[in-house]
Amino acid sequence: MIEAPSQGWFLSLRRSVMVVDLVESVRLIEADQIGTITRWREVVAHAEAALAATGAGRMVKSLGDGMLLDLEGVEPALAVAFALLDKTAQLNRDLPPQRQMHLRIGLQTGDLMVDRHDVYGHDVNVAARLAALGDPGDVVVSALVRDEIVHGIHADIEDLGECFLKHVREPVRAYRLSPPGQGVARPRVRGATETLLPTIAVIPLAGATGALGQVMAEEMIRAFGQSPHLNVISRLSTAPFARLDRPLEEIGRLLGASHVLTGRVTEDAGILEVTLELTELRSRQVMWSDRFRDRAANILIGEQEMFARIAEAVGKAILSRELQRARNLPVRTLESYTLMLAAVNAMYRLSQSDFNHAEQMLTATMERNPRHSVPLAWMGNWHVLKVQQGWTDDPAREQRIASDRTARALDLNPDCEHALTIDGLVQTNLSKDFEGADTRYRMALGFNPNNALANLLKGVMHAFRDEGDEAVRLSEMAQAKSPFDPQQYYFDCLTAAAYIAAGRPAEALPYAERSLKANSTHTSTLRTLAIAQWQTGDHEAARATLGRMMALEPGLTVSKWTRQNPAAKYVMGRRIAEILREAGMPE
């Protein structure tokens, strides 16, 4: 509650000042003096009650046709302004138009001179002139006020442009406000569909001085943005919630988020301590929490190690929860983004039972989202993997189905970078049309140069064509752009293949070994590791690795591999075929 200074003293305080004007008060009083005054007194009493409810303001003056209010901030001021408009609408309900009472309200924030009886200063004059700008029923504010308002939460906002106010030298940017939901509705984006990824909102951290909380949030948003399996709300959208006391469920609803990350940061002797909590809004549970420490100097120089650890931990927590839900609940009860995450993870786990379950989940996702291109594209990917793992007797059929899925995805959305990328994969690995694949990858990267999967698969295409240096460049770029991918083994396998194409098998070895450690059933990794081992002179290890591969794909022969592999007619393909023979694979 605002405490006015004692008698004879005044203070300079940061305040919001509101001027309320009764429109055409002279005409109204002349036509119905008793009725107008009675209704006006009800408005004044309602203003006093609204001020008391906020606990953050006082009535400075009440005149016969206006009021001057002094409030501690913009949010309580808006609550009072909209309460007054509601009250006048209620009083006008049964009156003819000529007897209805309407208000114009001007609101400004600034450094005011305040004493026990009044408020003084240039900003009081600005508030009065803003009120005069409005039409009956308007709340008009300055840019200073608008900067503290979140559109759609505090109010709906209409920009009135630069306005010249009487006796104010410079034009003032003015805005008309209406209660949330009563202004112009936001248009729905054409073609918008249900999101198929979890969406995380990072709220600026509390406890920080200056802009540190915002900086920390921005760095975490940047780290999360490298994950292909998360949607991340922009910092500009989440920043206003740092100063708003809103339930997390409301924040999630307003931002369209499924998860909200909140926390605090403190600094002591140059050491930052960050405490974080991740809340899943669907269950209203804190599903992950942790504490991190780092030197403040590291943050200032752009060191990303702590943010990388945070992004990896949060990504694993979300993925783990969704996979657990997918295992324990019937498909029909799962949300689409749960199905998508679980399907992609199961597909790349490369056990046949998981692989078949992935097909069921992708099919359910496509049925729920018939106008969404992404699940169709992932289904095309599923058929490519089926061929690569040797789990089909009819590769030509899988090629036709995969091509059909990606073609349908691109019919729905020709600009879908993921569908373009997977169509490139189909054309590379099944159709063996490198020119068509290159066109698709270029289009995908034209829409998003940071698409890690498109860079990776384009690199593989160059490896198949004996363009090893370009393959390595693109593979390394993909690794940098997706450091937390749940299918990291896949990235490592294809990076190892790029190094082999470049004639650098020793550098391929650690990538192939790390890939195999993460997924011991990926036959392409086993083959790539065997080639790297052979080329570095460890023939015994290469034969053992090839034996593991043959156990997983017992019908594979050199001639069958040559028929199916896109690199077979190039130098690298011929070299690999010869190594496979020498290492003991049947012809």
For the stretch 513-544, pLDDT in tens is 999 888 888 889 999 999 999 999 999 999 99
Q: How far apart are the first and last CA of the chain?
A: 88
Name the residue among 375, 228, 238, 236 with its Cα closest to residue 315: 228
Q: What is the pTM of this model?
A: 0.65
Q: Where are the beta strands (DSSP E) in 354-471?
A: none
The angle at the Cα of 568, spanning 566 to 572, to the nearest 5 degrees, equals 105
Name the CA dihedral angle for 302, 305, 306, 312, rounded to a multiple of 10 degrees.
130
- Res 479: pLDDT: 86
Contact 518, 345 (CB under 8 A): no
Name the residue among 484, 48, 553 with its Cα closest to residue 230: 484
Q: Count CA within 13 A, CB hemisphere, residue 381.
A: 26
Give 151's DSSP letter.
Answer: B
Give the SS3 label for residue 209. Answer: coil
Domains and CATH numbers, the chain: 10-178 (3.30.70.1230), 199-327 (3.40.50.10610), 349-582 (1.25.40.10)
CA pair distance 80, 39, nearest whole angstrom: 17
- Res 103: pLDDT: 94
Give per-residue pLDDT as tens, 147-183: 888 777 788 888 888 888 877 888 888 899 988 876 5
- Res 227: pLDDT: 78
CA pair distance 246, 339, nearest whole angstrom: 30
- Res 192: pLDDT: 39
Give the SS3 label for residue 276. Answer: strand
CA pair distance 585, 573, nearest whole angstrom: 15
The helix or strand, by DSSP H or E, that contains position 95, with its residue range, turns out to be none
- Res 191: pLDDT: 36
Show the low-confidence residues of the chain (pLDDT under 50). Answer: 1-2, 184-193
CA pair distance 185, 381, nearest whole angstrom: 39
CA pair distance 85, 22, nearest whole angstrom: 11
CA pair distance 364, 360, nearest whole angstrom: 6
Give the SS3 label for residue 513. Answer: helix
- Res 185: pLDDT: 42
Mean pLDDT computed over every residue of the chain: 87
Integer angstrom CA distances of residue 522 from 351, 385, 389, 518, 550: 9, 10, 7, 9, 12
Name the residue among 86, 91, 87, 103 with its Cα closest to residue 25: 103
The pairing of strands 231-232 and 259-268 is: unpaired
Give 413's DSSP letter.
Answer: -
Give 182's DSSP letter.
Answer: S
